[in-house]
Amino acid sequence: MKFTGGCNCGNIRYELNGEPIRIGLCHCETCRKETGSAFSYFGIWSKAKAHVRGESRSWPSKAGDRHFCPQCGSSVFGIEDDASDEIEIKLGTLDNPPSPLGPKYELWTIRRENWLNALIDVAQHDNDRT
């Protein structure tokens, strides 16, 4: 399976090979502010299965460096640290709707908006995953 995506202006493009390692939603304050929405919807792939091209800029967060396009401002991906083998892709940046990639867990549910219901049959974590 192959996925493609990128930022709004096309400066950053990526290809992802294979299924993600895991898929989740995060309701933490950092993710809400980064996305400008109630939560972040993301997939984790091995860096070896992700090919990113184009210029990005980043800012440090508790979860690692968050990369965005310096031209259009789209948040596209995150990398925990240089030693990590994983890359976090913002699934809203996929070229095709991410419908087949349903979340398997929710993070920071203590911050979930009270008008959002918990997802059925997915792991719920008050804070970070254990």
pLDDT for the residue numbered 83: 85
Residue 102 lies in a domain: yes
pLDDT at residue 8, as a whole number: 98
Distances in Å between the alpha carbon of 46 and those of 8, 58, 63, 82, 94?
Answer: 24, 19, 16, 13, 17
**How far is Cα 41 from Cα 23, in angstroms, rounded to an integer?**
8
For residue 63, pLDDT over 90 is answered with no
CATH code of the domain in which 97 resides: 3.90.1590.10
Number of domains in the chain: 1
Residue 14 lies in a domain: yes
Does residue 52 fall inside a structural domain? yes
Decide: residue 58, CB within 10 A, 0-12 exposed, 13-18 middle, 19+ buried: middle
Q: Are 45 and 118 in contact (CB under 8 A)?
A: no
Confidence of residue 81 (pLDDT cuts 50, 70, 90): confident
Question: Which stretches does DSSP call E strand in the chain?
Answer: 2-6, 13-17, 22-26, 40-46, 50-53, 57-61, 64-68, 75-79, 86-90, 105-107, 123-124
Q: How much is the average pLDDT of 86-100?
A: 96
Domain assignment of residue 130, yes or no: no
- What mean pLDDT is predicted for residues 79-88? 91
Q: What pLDDT does 62 receive?
A: 87
Q: Is residue 57 part of a domain?
A: yes
Whether residue 45 is contained in a domain is answered as: yes
Rounded to two decimals, the pTM is 0.94
Inside any domain, residue 129: no
Interval 98-123 mean pLDDT: 96
- By residue range, what is the domain housing residue 88? 2-124
Question: Is residue 11 included in any domain, yes or no?
Answer: yes
pLDDT tens across 10-50, in order?
A: 999 999 999 999 999 999 999 999 999 999 999 999 999 99
* Category of 11 on φ-ψ map: left (φ > 0), alpha (ψ -120 to 50) or beta: alpha
Find all residues with CB under 8 Å of 114, minimum gap 6, and list them: none
When pLDDT is averaged across residues 107-116 and rounded to a whole number, the result is: 97
